[in-house]
Amino acid sequence: MATDDAGPYERWVADAIRNPGKAYRAMFVVAAGFFLLTTLFPLYWLVVLALTPEENMTDVGLLPNGFNPEAFVTVFETVPFHWYMLNSIVLGLVTTAIVLLLASIAGYVFGRLEFPGKVPLMLLLLAVSYFPPAAFLLPLFRLFTGNVSFLTLPGGTEVTSPVLFNTPGALVLPYSALFLPLSIFILTTFYGQIPDGLEKAARVEGTTRLGALFRVIMPLSAPGVATAGVLTFIAVYNEFFFGYLMTDGQAQNWAPVVWGILQFQGQYADLYNLMAAASIIGVVPVAILVVVAQERIVSGLTAGALKE
């Protein structure tokens, strides 16, 4: 119990002991403030750099050293940044379609069928998703640049791997392999919860297992399908490693948005204000998608956490 001559901190602690809800509110404010500071300050700093004119880029404080909104237009005048963004969007959509198709079939098998080795195989599948992308770089780079020989014909001609460097195939294939396990896990959780009676009723009507998957199970698991699709698209859109190494950085060669930002990094000077403006513009599609699909993502993740 605080005495009359106790300081403000001692009185606050004594009041929090009597009223624990006050302590919980204080902890929430501190945690929320720390979260907002660490997540929003980098975005604010990008805005400060983007609005600061190039000639005033030294000694930049918490406020811009000037006001130069033209940087958001100069980005598109200096490099074809819109093509870099379009490349990332197309790569994300194609990869998402492939991942959802394959993950739906695999999720049906793992979620609704019983077979020997089911659990170890699922664990092995999930373990693949924890491998660092760098572990696959060297073999994939040799494979996609035509340096892997499959067989030698009688005349001495070697059959080598196709050259996919600077093509969508060099990006979509590793993206699909890397992001497929998580989608399989999400869809397995949802598909396993659909009552057998609904699928049996569809099959009595004459549909096959595959037809029941696409006509009954997937529509009933819409939050899980949407969650897997949105997470895959965001991961592909923001991917850096393969996007940087599997193309030469030219927009016409399917270089993603990360290459567009790096175009403002020169040999003798870096255009930091344009790099910051490009970073802000590049994150707009993902921000819009998150805002639109926010409820789907939250409901899908929480539903998947509650179901077995």
Which range is least confidently modeled, 2-16, 226-240, 241-255, 270-284? 2-16
Q: Given 35, 67, 99, which residue is the final one in a domain?
A: 67
User: Using CA atoms, how far apart are residues 51 and 21, in angstroms rounded to an integer?
Assistant: 43
Look-up of token digits 């924890």 = 130
Region 43-72: mean pLDDT is: 87
Question: What is the model's pLDDT at position 305?
Answer: 47
Among 48, 67, 86, give the residue marking a domain's end.
67
Share of the chain residues as helix, strand and coil, in percent rounded to the nearest 5:
70, 5, 25
Q: Is the same domain home to 173 and 262?
A: yes
Burial class of residue 33, CB neighbours in 10 A (0-12, 13-18, 19+)? exposed
pLDDT above 90 covers a percentage of the chain that reads: 31
Average pLDDT on 165-194 reads 90
Q: Which residues pair with 277 in a beta bridge?
A: none
Q: What is the mean pLDDT of residues 7-33?
A: 84
Q: Please indicate, yes or no, whether residues 56 and 205 belong to a single structural domain of this protein.
A: no
DSSP code for 163: B
For residue 96, the model assigns a pLDDT of 95
Beta bridge partners of 163: 145
Report pLDDT for 308: 42
Quickly count: other Cβ atoms within 10 Å of residue 44's Cβ. 11
Whether residues 62 and 73 share a domain: the answer is no
Cβ atoms of 176 and 199 within 8 Å: the answer is no
State the SS3 of the chain: CCCCCCCHHHHHHHHHHHCHHHHHHHHHHHHHHHHHHHHHHHHHHHHHHHHCCHHHCCCCCCCCCCCCCCHHHHHHHHCCHHHHHHHHHHHHHHHHHHHHHHHHHHHHHHHHCCCCCHHHHHHHHHHHCCCCCHHHHHHHHHHHECCCEEEECCCCCEEECCECCCCCHHHHHHHHHHHHHHHHHHHHHHHCCCCHHHHHHHHHCCCCHHHHHHHHHHHHCHHHHHHHHHHHHHHHHCCCHHHHHCCCCCHHHCCCHHHHHHCCECCCCECHHHHHHHHHHHHHHHHHHHHHHHHHHHHHHHHHHHCC
Instruction: Give the 3-state secondary structure of residue 240.
Output: coil
Residue type, 253: N
The boundaries of the domain holding residue 62 are 1-67
Judgement on whether residues 119 and 215 belong to the same structural domain of the protein:
yes
Beta bridge partners of 158: 152
Q: Are residues 193 and 225 in the same domain?
A: yes
Kindly report the pTM of this predicted structure: 0.83
**pLDDT for 232:** 93
Report the C-alpha gap between 70 and 78 in whole angstroms.
12
Task: Please report where in the chains the tokens 């992308």 appear, as a residue.
Answer: 133
The whole-number average pLDDT for the span 102-112 is 92
Same domain for 36 and 168?
A: no
For 255-303, how does the pLDDT look when each residue is reduced to its tens digit (9 = 90+)?
999 999 998 887 667 788 899 999 999 999 988 988 887 766 666 555 5
pLDDT at position 300, please?
Answer: 57
pLDDT given for residue 57 in this prediction: 82
- pLDDT category of residue 23 using cuts at 50, 70 and 90: confident
Quick check: 242 pLDDT over 60?
Answer: yes
Confidence of residue 103 (pLDDT cuts 50, 70, 90): very high
Rounded to an integer, what distance in angstroms lies between the CA atom of residue 305 and that of residue 79? 44
Q: Does one domain contain both 81 and 57?
A: no
Same structural domain, 299 and 283: yes
The mean pLDDT value for 105-131 works out to 87
Q: Is the pLDDT assigned to residue 166 strictly greater than 50?
A: yes
Reading the block at residue 279, the tokens are: 């970073």
Q: Are residues 107 and 211 in the same domain?
A: yes
**Does the structure show a pLDDT above 50 at 110?**
yes
Does residue 188 share a domain with residue 136?
yes
Same domain, 137 and 227: yes
pLDDT at residue 205, rounded to an integer? 82
Q: Note the pLDDT of residue 51.
A: 92
Q: Is the domain of 155 the same as that of 216?
A: yes
CATH number at residue 99: 1.10.3720.10
What are residue 265's DSSP bridge partners?
270
